[in-house]
Structure 1
Amino acid sequence: MKTINYILKLMGFLNVSDFLGKYHPLFGGVFASSLTFGIITGFIETHSGISILLWIFFAAGTLFDLLVGLYTNLIYLKLKFESDRFFRGIFKPFVMFVVIFLTNTFKRGLENSHIKPELLEDLAVYMTATIHYSFVITIGVFILLSIAENMAKMDIRAAVTLTKILNMKIKKLEKFNDENDIDNAA
């Protein structure tokens, strides 16, 4: 502590309390909160492979989707509450988030393995990273599509248009996949 006080005195401060200012009594609590947040954030980012801001977007989007769905069905359309549909709205994102953790865990395991030749290891890591980030993008699109579908039920023009466009694109993809399945079977 003497060394720290000596350095602080060289810099023009009386002691640690003077350095921290009038908020020095809060330092312990703020430091503990920051450390806890940093540990949790580091764990989530390390084991999921995506940033905490993207997780916040996913969580806020899922919550917003649930609230818009409840408002649309219960208040706007005056339907009765259906617990199975509500819990589907919670369970589906949960499963998708678990898939994000699993694909990232698989990718990290491949990165730490020592597969020979190295080209094969790189190819495996690249493929799992592609699958991982494909799920991340898919979840984001699903959340936005679900919000748009709920808003389309309220006849919000932009949401109706977006839902129609996305449904047309999905039908084109399904038709393309069906044609490829038939060609591959022949």
Structure 2
Amino acid sequence: MPTHAWMTDDHRAFADTVKRFLSEEFQPNRDTWKEAGMIPKDFWRKAGDLGILGATVPEEHGGLGLSYGFDVVTFLEQGRIGDSGWGFSVHNIATHYIAAYGTEQQRARWLPKLASGEMVAAIAMTEPGTGSDLQAVKTTAIANGNEYCLNGSKTFITNGASADLIVTVAKTDPKSRSKGVSLMVVE
């Protein structure tokens, strides 16, 4: 792995761990998993055991509490082997949404499972006919007491086949344009 000015000895040691993990656990299975259309849950748990999934998750929620640079190390190692099939980046984005915007109860409920690989996260944003224009989504989330009725269609959901938790983009107030678009977490 190339050395970058921002990398410390800890980043390089983490990079060695990720590189070894991808070499031993991902590469030998890559074609089989691509054909199956999903990564098995035990692979996610192994990544969690090594701290790869929870590198930046706060320690109080089961992670290592490290800087975002450690996630970048994982992205760089994926790039080094030309991988775009393991949905680490999407899992990571969903985890960061929950860490940043979830309630304390939600963080306590989901972050430890996301960091350990017990849960796999996906993001459902793209829709037929709207692409990634989030203001144009047609999926709605209508309040019904303390619940929402979610209705719509999504496509291209990375990790969708193995996800336990899906961050879904929906309109909660269609008249408010971008301010009416929300992220709904679906277990």
Structure 2 length as normaliser, TM-score? 0.23
Which structure carries more helix by proportion? 1
Which structure carries more strand by proportion? 2
Larger radius of gyration: 1
Structure 1 length as normaliser, TM-score? 0.24
